[in-house]
A = this chain, B = another copy of it.
Amino acid sequence: MNLRPLKPPKETQVRILDAAEELFMQHGFEGASMRMLTARAGVNLAAVNYHFGSKDALIEAVFHRRLDPMNAQRLAELDRLEAEAEGKPLAPEAIIRAFLSASLRMVEDVRNGGRNFSRLLGRAYTEPAKPIRQLIGRMYAPAMERFKTALARALPELPRDELVWRMHFMFGTLAYTLAATDTVQLIAGAKPEDRYDARVLEDRLATFMSAGLLAPLPGAHQVRIAA
């Protein structure tokens, strides 16, 4: 009847997923080979194909394992905020923080490899391979819709076009911060000890994003419409 064995049955899968997370982050999806991967995980070369079917399927599994719960957390947090508000509109910064905190919790989760995934995720948004981009798009779509309507309700005076663009910018800020922190240091000077303190980072990101989101409409743009 295949009862659950004494040692966890998925140890191999988990080891593969952890190794994949780390090596995909370090070398990219094409750059990390099955042989590197399985060697790091301490499993046989054929194990990935046996347990996941193919390398592409493994990539999907890597994202599903982290992203599904992450977006569920986001939606739950937004639900909680809206329930507390009892119909009153939410503060934009609170909505932003509801979106951010799930990402930043993962940055801090060093022990379980969450930081590896954070960096991997930050890079995945700009991945050239179409299947991966489509996958990411599909996994984010529901949460994005919810946050878009929440922000639209919080900022009724902001034209929908502008809101979409500013969400785009906010997402870019987050994505780059997740991907590049401690890898690229284009601008020298950030104190290393602050770099992964999730609370400090969330404050900084939320402050920056809120200000950008609430910025007055671009004057030149209005002139351009009037002209």
Contacts and interface: CB of A to CB of B under 8 A. Distances in A.
Question: Chain A interface mostly helix, strand, loop or mixed?
Answer: helix
- How many copies of this kind of chain does the complex include? 2
Interface stretch (A27-35, A60-68, A101-109): A27-35
A140 B184 CA distance: 11
Interface stretch (A5-13, A40-48, A50-58, A162-170): A162-170
Contacts of A174: 172
Contacts of A183: 126, 133
A208 B211 CA distance: 8
Nearest to A136: B184
A200 B224 contact: yes
Contact of A161 (B160, B180, B186, B194): B194
Interface residues of A, number: 71
A168 B187 contact: yes
Interface in A169-186: 169, 171-177, 179-181, 183-186
Q: Which of A175, A206, A208 has its CB near the most chain B CB atoms (within 10 A)?
A: A208
A66 to B, nearest CB: 17
A139 B127 CA distance: 22
A211 B170 CA distance: 12
Interface in A189-225: 189-191, 194, 199-200, 203-221, 224
A153 interface: no
Given A172-B176, A172-B177, A165 B184 contact: no
A15 interface: no
Interface in A111-133: 122-123, 125-129, 133
A193 to B, nearest CB: 11
Contact of A189 (B137, B164, B185, B189): B164
A188 to B, nearest CB: 8
Going nearest first, the 8 A-B pairs with the smallest beta carbon separation are A172-B176, A211-B215, A203-B218, A126-B179, A208-B212, A164-B189, A212-B212, A207-B218
Given A161-B194, A212-B215, 15 more contacts: A28-B129, A126-B184, A136-B186, A148-B187, A165-B208, A166-B204, A169-B176, A169-B205, A172-B173, A172-B180, A176-B176, A203-B218, A203-B219, A211-B215, A212-B212
